[in-house]
Amino acid sequence: MAGEMQIDTPIRAETGAEAGPRGPGCSLRHFACEQNLLSRPDGSASFLQGDTSVLAGVYGPAEVKVSKEIFNKATLEVLLRPKTGLPGVAEKSRERLIRNTCEAVVLGALHPRTSITVVLQVVSDAGSLLACCLNAACMALVDAGVPMRALFCGVTCALDSDGNLVLDPTLKQEKEARAVLTFALDSVERKLLMSTTKGLYSNAELQQCLAAAQAASQHVFHFYRESLQRRYSKS
């Protein structure tokens, strides 16, 4: 079985290991992804965006409790564990968002009366956490071989007080931003799967952020493709 592969794809030549200065406008941080690193889950992946790192594990399709089973499709469950402390209401809300995104994409009808569980552990949080969780979940679902109709990715945009758009913000940029918007986009037609926002913004700014996120998702999907190609071409 092909072991772990470390794949790095710098999106812009100037990014190094620092989360530091980036060009104004659209540049994403340094990505890295590692698959199949845990032995117990059916699929696992670790996704790094700059300094933010999330580990995901997928179990499924597996047996489901009778109370939770759905007769014609798979029951999807998402568990998000924060880095420190017990999971709270904010985690529940994020779990619901990630679960809805996965449900829209996973072909549950092929595995009725089963359960697919995605467990996410936050290893380090340096901004754009929800987007990183979504990316890790997608890579882990692919690693587990769960049938999906498309891949999905998460992109975060921050709008600062001058109206400048920053993609993939760091923790500091998020704190100082006037609004932070996170989108989940699918790979087939770049359609919007999920969006959640914090802060005040206008309709025009929303459209602008959405367009920027769609452009950025190109890079992410390209990275997914390369990473999977490299993994399967060796074995």
Binding site for another protein (CB under 8 A): 89-90, 92-93, 95-97, 100-101, 103-104, 184, 186, 191-203, 205-207, 210
Minimal distance, residue 83 CB to another protein, in Å: 19
- In terms of C-beta density within 10 A (0-12 exposed, 13-18 middle, 19 or more buried), how is residue 112 classed? middle
Q: Which is nearer to another protein, 165 or 193 (CB)?
A: 193
Minimal distance, residue 50 CB to another protein, in Å: 25
Q: Are 105 and 193 in contact (CB under 8 A)?
A: yes
Minimal distance, residue 25 CB to another protein, in Å: 20
Minimal distance, residue 53 CB to another protein, in Å: 24
Helix (H, G, I), strand (E, B) or coil at 15: coil
What angle in degrees, to the nearest 10, is found between the helix axes of 203-234 and 129-144? 30
Q: Which is nearer to another protein, 17 or 89 (CB)?
A: 89
Residues linked to residue 9 through DSSP beta bridges, in sequence order: 31
Q: Which helix (H) or strand (E) holds 185?
A: strand 179-186
Q: Which is nearer to another protein, 140 or 209 (CB)?
A: 209
CB atoms within 10 A of CB 196: 15
Q: Which is nearer to another protein, 37 or 96 (CB)?
A: 96
